[in-house]
Structure 1
Amino acid sequence: MVFSPSRRWGPRPSPSSRRVLVSRNKTSSAGTVTVSRRVLLGSMVSAYALAAGGASALAQGVRGGASTAEWGDSFDAGSRSRATRNTFPVLGPHTVQGLEQAIGQYQTIVSRGGWRPIPAGERLRIGTRRPAVVLLRDRLMATGDLDSNVGRSDVFDSFVDTAVRRFQVRHGISPDGQVRESTFQALNVPAELRLRQLETNLVRVRAHSGFLGNRYIVLNIPAAQAEAVENGAVVSRHVAVVGKADRQSPVISTRVADINFNPYWTVPASIIRKDLIPKMQAEPDYLTKNRIRIFNGQGQEVAATSINWNSMDAMNYRFRQDPFEGNSMGNVRINIPNAHQVYMHDTPSKGLFGEDQRFHSSGCARIQNVRELIAWILQGTPWTRSEIDRIFRTVDRVDARPLQPVPVYWVYVTAWADPDGMVQFRNDIYLRDGAGAQVALGQQAQPE
């Protein structure tokens, strides 16, 4: 059986997918079965959507109120963690190999003059007939998202729709097949800058290409995505919400110390200053409604009315939120000791997990489907998934430890690839690539 997509830029279809893809009435005289390209590319997009993980790939989310404090974001429940058929982790020797291959491919693209920009403006979608569609086809062919054999028509047909969705997944954009602002921006980053991005990130990934542990967790900050890795393969991927551009999540190497169920939350000084004081000025019963208590330096509880909220007086106190359904950390915190005092945690509501740009926290990482990750961390202990589900239904303060320390790596990787040719890019949200704003799309922090 022969399968011949134009380029090997993604994971091969599974055997079951192949059976579906075969066009039964297209058997050559030599007995070779061919594949309908349209069906094959369509199936590849589905695989890539699963492989994308950190993009809100198959979920459409509700825009949350990012002007609120970290404990008050208006999430809505819904989207799920991204289990994936692509088991290559973002760190490791396979990624080094993939990046080296991608660099060679992009060097060839650059040597041929790169690609022409597509005039941004009117939305392009299936059924559209515009001269810009010809440029769009050329651009998608350059990176192998569109089969070069489909031609340079000015019609946005199903082939282009499939290619656009694939491109969107590779760039952390919800794959709706419509070319709008964020997709125009990603398409128009020059090939030279994409090549520089790949080269920059090869250095970063090589620094983590040694032995990271038999079981470890990686949080890729620009992708806002966490991976649980076991024996070199990803066992689960989780959408995350990470730090704003002005409250950045740090690059760290640490380990899981323990799991804190139904934790208290001590409000960080930065949030007291930037969020809590303004909230109390506008809404004097805010602390009461959110079950936040105030303690002085002697550990004695004090009344909110004793503080001058029109000054910085509140900075002299400790603010602690009790465990309850609306606690900022939800039902659990994954404690990872580090100098930045950040951690991974649950959240009481989920809507921001559906966004493409998930940079809304004050440095910590909120993890989607956190129960799955905790169950994996606590494998071999009495903490089964059913026991975790039970404790989530309570407000009991309980701690649990993994059998062995689980290494945790928070990294900043804006471009990566695997040996099957899946090349992914993300926005340089913290402007660390040195390539300027042209590859830092969406880097603006949400308004305070």
Structure 2
Amino acid sequence: MPAAVSSFAHRASFRRLAAPFLLALLLGQVALSPAAARESDSQPSLPFSQSLAAALSQDELVAAWYQARDYRPLWTGASDTARRSALLAALELAPDHGLPVARYDLAGLRRALGAVRTEGDVGRIEARLTRAYLDWAGDLSSGLLTPSEIDSTIVREISRKDPLLLLRAMEQGDPEQVLRDLLPRSDIYAQLMRAKFELEEIAATQGWGPAVPGDTLKPGDQGERFLALRNRLIAMGYLAPTATAVYDRAVQSAVMSFQRAHGLPADGVAGGDTIAEINKSPQDRIRSVLVAMERERWMDIDRSGRMIWVNLPDFTTEIVDDGRVTFRTRTVIGREDMERRTPEFSDMMNHMVVNPSWGVPRSIIVGEYLPLLQRNPNALSHMQVVDRNGRVLSRGSVNFSAYTARSFPFGMRQPPGDSNALGKVKFMFPNKYNIYLHDTPSKNLFAHDKRAYSHGCIRLADPFDFAHALFRTQAPEIEREFNSTLKGGKETPVKLEVKVPIHIVYFTAYPEGKGRIGYRRDVYGRDARLWSALEAAGVVAAPVSH
């Protein structure tokens, strides 16, 4: 169990998580009826075995496991009380984790346990408890959803636990510890859960007050619209309680703090985008947190040591060392249309290329460049046309009009240079999506707060500084060596002696400094699709009281 979760359990704000579990352990042990109690752990009765086998007939793997152990019970035997009670208590926590209560049918399980009359009934409830346990274990440890089924650009590989290993762990281990070990191992998950509880408390009362009407408010403004802004900032914790009737420096500072926490330009003016974010309800934020918790359940990663963290809706790339951000730069990500969106996945960065050439992706060649070349063979003069062996061809030797997008047999490459689309350096983690980090000559795009302009790759605002930070541990003179290689102008790969994990993620709600959750806009609409899928699966956000 993560240290943060362990300490969090002792805090008052975490009582809602711990209390149902402890109460069930102390008081909630479910006793089977006398008819069920006759069933023996060592030699199950034929009615028990037959009903269990029938109930598991659609699950060959689990059925084979029970068959191999002569249908001995895991949950309903005379010595299984602690195991059964621990599971039922854990299932009570489904709402706290943003998981669907109905999926595990805790109420139905309790009713069935209380209504057992025959050993056949016991066999059937044994199967139901096993199914509930495996569903719970899988959902909590690796997520309820299969992300690629919801959005094809979420290509993260999910590590699913082996059902047989889960059953063996419960059979052989301490049931409480086995269930605790299913929790996501990062402190991030505990912080998101705490934020969920806090937002639910706010939603259950008066929220953050009336929304702010209109578009823009700026320093010096007064009136009802300003008072709505002031009161909402106070309710959200960005402004100390005040009776000021004018948009003064304190309010301006509060607006700037809010803007920084929501990825907006921190200019202190409550413009349209800022007002829109201020007017988000606790309910809206709960949904963002629930989606973030699901995403965190997918992230079975080791956060110790060094990693590269690219959060797409934050438009940033970070180097993180043992949980501490040691370098941060702005990024440009893929455009918002489906074909250009940057996918989410994890990989290992293994080298950089100084003075890179750009091998133009096939989709760009036939979709954008071929039509230009068919109209004018001398277009795109900065690009080389190459054959399958990489040999440069003269433009006059190619009849571009003779080919279609499907039949065009050539590639295109832009040699190293000041105008190269990849700039002066690219950072490689070879992957089938052809995504990498790179420099760019289009520096003006980094001035925008919403930076979705690329064909899918990730452009860095400070690529040289990123290279220095990334390679400094293996090459203390990296700046001098890097600058020397740059001046040479030759395409040069530089290997990382120790590969660095890179995680391209999409969190619109994520813990930031001082325990506050930062929120970002759903630039690709992925969170909206994930929430719809969670809601369809039975996940609910706490209703707002009126």
- TM-score higher than 0.5 here? yes
Q: Quick one: structure 1 residues 279 and 130, their matched pair in 2 at CA, closer, same or farther if it must change by over 3 Å?
A: farther
TM alignment of 1:135-146, pairs within 5 A: 135-146=228-239
1:388 is matched by which residue type in structure 2? Answer: F
Partner of 1:167: 258
Residue 192 of structure 1 is matched in structure 2 by 283
When residues 300 and 380 of structure 1 are mapped into structure 2, their CA distance, relative to the original with a 3 A threshold, is closer
Which amino acid counterpart does residue 155 of structure 1 have in structure 2?
Answer: V
Asked if residue 233 in structure 1 is aligned to residue 324 in structure 2, the reply is: yes
What residue is the counterpart of 1:395 in the other structure?
A: 489
Residues 356 and 491 in structure 2, CA contact (< 8 A), matched pair in contact too: yes
- Partner SS state of residue 393, structure 1: helix
CA RMSD in angstroms comes to: 2.6
* Cross-structure match for 2:223: 130
CA distance, structure 1, for counterparts of residue 449 and residue 217 of structure 2 = 19
The CA distance in 2 between the partners of 1:282 and 1:144, in whole Å, is: 60
1:32-431, aligned counterparts within 5 Å?
A: 93-115=186-208, 116-121=210-215, 123-147=216-240, 149-151=241-243, 153-208=244-299, 210-246=301-337, 247-277=340-370, 279-280=372-373, 285-288=378-381, 291-297=382-388, 299-304=390-395, 306-308=399-401, 312=405, 315-378=408-471, 379-381=473-475, 384-418=478-512, 420-431=514-525
Q: Deviations over 1:57-91 (max 9, x none)?
A: xxxxxxxxxxxxxxxxxxxxxxxxxxxxxxxxxx9
Instruction: For residue 169 of structure 1, report the CA deviation from its aligned partner.
Output: 0.8
Separation in 1, partners of 2:272, 2:450:
13
Q: How many pairs are equivalent?
A: 343
Q: Matched residues in 2 for 1:181 and 1:436: separation?
A: 26
State the alpha-carbon separation in 1 of the partners of residues 427 and 513 from structure 2.
32
Report the Cα offset of residue 435 of structure 1: 6.6
The worse-fitting range, judged by mean Cα deviation, of 275-284 and 219-228 is: 275-284
Higher helix share: 2
Provide, for residues 185-227 of structure 1, a one-character-per-residue CA deviation record: whole Å limited to 9, x for no partner: 2122222011110121022224436423511111111111111
Cα distance in 2 between the residues matched to 1:197 and 1:268: 34
- Report sequence identity in percent: 28
Instruction: Give 3-state SS (helix, strand or coil) of 1:113's partner.
Output: coil
Whole-angstrom distance in 2 between the partners of 1:383 and 1:335: 21
Q: Which amino acid is the alignment partner of residue 211 of structure 2?
A: P
Structure 1 residue 298: Cα displacement? 5.2
Report the CA distance between 1:159 and its aligned residue: 1.5
- Secondary structure of the structure 2 residue equivalent to 1:308: helix
Whole-angstrom CA distance in 1 between matches of 2:476 and 2:374: 46
Question: Which deviations, in whole Å up to 9, do the C-alpha atoms of 1:257-283 show, x marking residues without a partner?
Answer: 211111111111222244324555777
1:437 CA displacement = 11
Q: How far did 1:374 drift?
A: 1.6
Whether the aligned pair in 1 keeps the contact of 2:386 and 2:412 (CA below 8 Å) is: yes
The normalised TM-score by structure 2 is 0.59
Q: What is the SS of the residue equivalent to 1:126?
A: coil
* Map of 2:527 onto structure 1: 433
Distance in structure 1 (CA, Å) of the matches to 2:256 and 2:455: 31
Structure 1: give runs of 5+ residues left out of the alignment.
1-90, 439-448
One-letter code of the match for 1:391?
T
More relative contact order, 1 or 2 (CA 8 Å, 6+ apart) = 1
Cα distance 1:419–1:173, how it changes in 2: closer, same or farther (>3 A)? closer
Say which one has the larger Rg: 2
Residues 311 and 111 from structure 1, CA distance in 2 versus in 1: closer, same or farther, beyond 3 angstroms?
A: same
- Structure 1 Cα separation of the partners of residues 507 and 439 of structure 2: 23
